[in-house]
C-alpha cells in the first residue's frame, strides 16, 4: 500500500487546495486512523479565510474531527486496537486519508451508531459540553440561551440541556430551523430576522447562561437578558469582533463574559473533555436519548459546494465528507 495520501489545505481565494503528502508516522502515545468520514465545521471555513490558523505544532491540513478505523497504535497505547471503529477530536488534519491523533482524543464509536454519524459528534458535543457544563458550570434548572440553534453545536446543546434539566431558548434564522429546535427540546424560540431577541428572552425569564457564536451586536443584547451572576460564553465571531458593552450592567449584575476556543486548548484539557464525553454523553447516545444531527453526507470531491452551503448558512446540522 502506498505511504502517500491525499489531504486538503487552505489555498488561495478561500478555496481548498488538494495535496499529496506522506502518511503520518504514529507516535508512542498516538493512534493512526484510516479516515472514513470527516466532519465539517465553521472553524474550517474560518481557516480557509485566513482567520483561524492552526495552533503551534498542529497540522495545517483542514479538519477538526473524523471517524474511521484504527490503522496502527503507538507503543504506549492500550485504549484501542487495530481494526476498532473510532471517532476523534483533532487540532487539525482531518481532511486527509489518514490522521495521527493523541490517544486521549480518540473514543470508540458509540454502540449502535454508524461511522458516518460518528464523524459529526466529537467537535460539537465537546464544544457544547465544555462551555456550558465545564466553563459555565450549568446547574439543573438554570436557563440557557442558545444562539445559532440549528448549527451542529446548537443542536448538541439543545439535546444535552434537555437531558440535564436546563430549559433552553433558541434563536435561528428561519421557521424551519426553529421548528427543529423545538423538536430538540427548546422551550421558546426567536427568529433573528425579526430583529432583537431582548424582549422575548426577558418575557421568558432571562438567561443564566448564553452560548454565543455571533458576538458583534449580540453582545449588547446578551447583556440585557443575562440574569444576576449570569455567564456569557462567546465562541465565535459571526456578527463581527467589535461590540459595545455596558460596564455598569456587568458590575451590578455580576455578569461574566468569557471568550472560549476549543482547538487551542492543551492536551490535558482536551483529554478531560473527551473523558467527560465518554462518561456522560456516550451513554445518552447508546440509550438513544440524543442523536447525531447530520444534514448531509457529501463526497470529498464536492467539498467546494459543501463549503458554500456553510457560508450561506444553508444547513441544519452537520455536513460530513465521505472518503
Spell out the domains of the chain, with CATH numbers in brackets. Answer: 4-121+263-322 (3.90.180.10), 124-259 (3.40.50.720)
The burial class, CB within 10 Å (0-12 / 13-18 / 19+), for 251 is exposed
Which residues of the chain fall below pLDDT 50? none
The structure's pTM equals: 0.93
- Tell me the Cα Rg of the chain: 19
pLDDT, residue 198, reads 97
Which cell numbers in the block locate residue 275? 473523558
In our burial notation (b when 16+ CB lie closer than 10 A, e otherwise), range 281-303 reads: bbebbeeeebbbbbbebbebeeb
The pLDDT tens digits of the residues spanning 125-166 come to 999 999 999 999 999 999 999 999 999 999 999 999 999 999
Residues 6+ away with beta carbon under 8 Å from 281: 125, 129, 160, 290
Q: What is the DSSP string of 17-83?
A: EEEEEEPPPPPTTEEEEEEEEEE--HHHHHHHTTSSPPPTTS-SB--SEEEEEEEEE-TT--S--TT
pLDDT, residue 241, reads 87
Q: Cβ distance 206 to 143 under 8 Å?
A: yes
pLDDT, residue 1, reads 55
Amino acid at each position: 500500500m502506498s505511504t502517500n495520501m491525499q489531504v486538503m489545505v487552505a489555498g488561495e481565494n478561500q478555496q481548498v487546495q488538494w495535496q499529496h503528502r506522506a502518511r503520518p508516522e504514529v507516535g508512542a502515545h498516538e493512534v493512526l486512523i484510516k479516515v472514513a468520514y470527516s466532519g465539517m465545521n465553521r472553524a474550517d471555513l474560518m481557516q480557509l479565510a485566513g482567520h483561524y490558523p492552526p495552533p503551534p505544532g498542529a497540522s495545517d491540513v483542514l479538519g477538526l474531527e473524523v471517524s474511521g478505523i484504527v490503522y496502527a497504535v503507538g507503543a504506549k497505547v492500550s485504549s484501542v486496537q487495530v481494526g476498532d471503529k473510532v471517532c476523534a477530536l483533532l487540532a487539525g488534519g482531518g481532511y486527509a486519508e489518514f490522521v495521527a491523533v493523541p490517544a486521549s482524543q480518540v473514543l470508540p464509536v458509540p454502540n449502535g451508531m454508524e461511522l458516518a454519524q460518528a464523524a459529526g459528534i466529537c467537535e460539537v458535543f465537546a464544544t457544547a459540553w465544555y462551555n456550558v457544563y465545564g466553563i459555565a458550570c450549568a446547574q439543573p434548572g438554570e436557563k440557557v440561551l442558545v444562539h445559532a440553534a440549528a448549527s451542529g453545536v446548537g443542536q448538541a446543546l439543545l439535546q444535552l440541556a434537555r437531558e440535564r434539566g436546563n430549559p433552553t431558548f433558541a434563536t435561528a434564522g428561519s421557521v424551519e430551523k426553529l421548528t427543529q429546535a423545538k423538536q430538540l427540546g427548546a422551550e421558546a424560540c426567536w427568529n433573528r430576522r425579526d430583529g432583537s431577541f431582548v424582549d422575548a428572552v426577558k418575557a421568558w425569564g432571562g438567561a443564566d447562561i448564553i452560548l454565543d457564536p455571533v458576538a458583534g451586536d449580540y453582545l449588547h443584547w446578551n447583556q440585557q437578558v443575562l440574569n444576576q451572576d449570569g455567564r456569557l460564553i462567546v465562541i465565535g465571531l459571526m456578527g463581527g469582533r467589535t461590540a459595545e458593552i455596558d460596564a455598569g450592567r456587568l458590575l451590578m449584575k455580576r455578569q461574566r463574559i468569557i471568550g472560549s476556543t476549543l482547538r487551542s486548548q492543551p492536551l490535558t484539557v482536551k483529554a478531560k473533555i473527551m473523558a467527560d464525553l465518554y462518561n456522560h454523553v456516550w451513554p445518552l447516545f447508546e440509550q438513544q436519548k440524543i442523536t447525531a444531527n447530520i444534514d448531509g453526507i457529501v463526497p470529498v470531491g464536492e467539498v467546494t459546494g459543501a463549503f458554500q452551503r456553510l457560508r450561506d448558512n444553508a444547513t441544519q446540522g452537520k455536513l460530513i465528507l465521505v472518503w
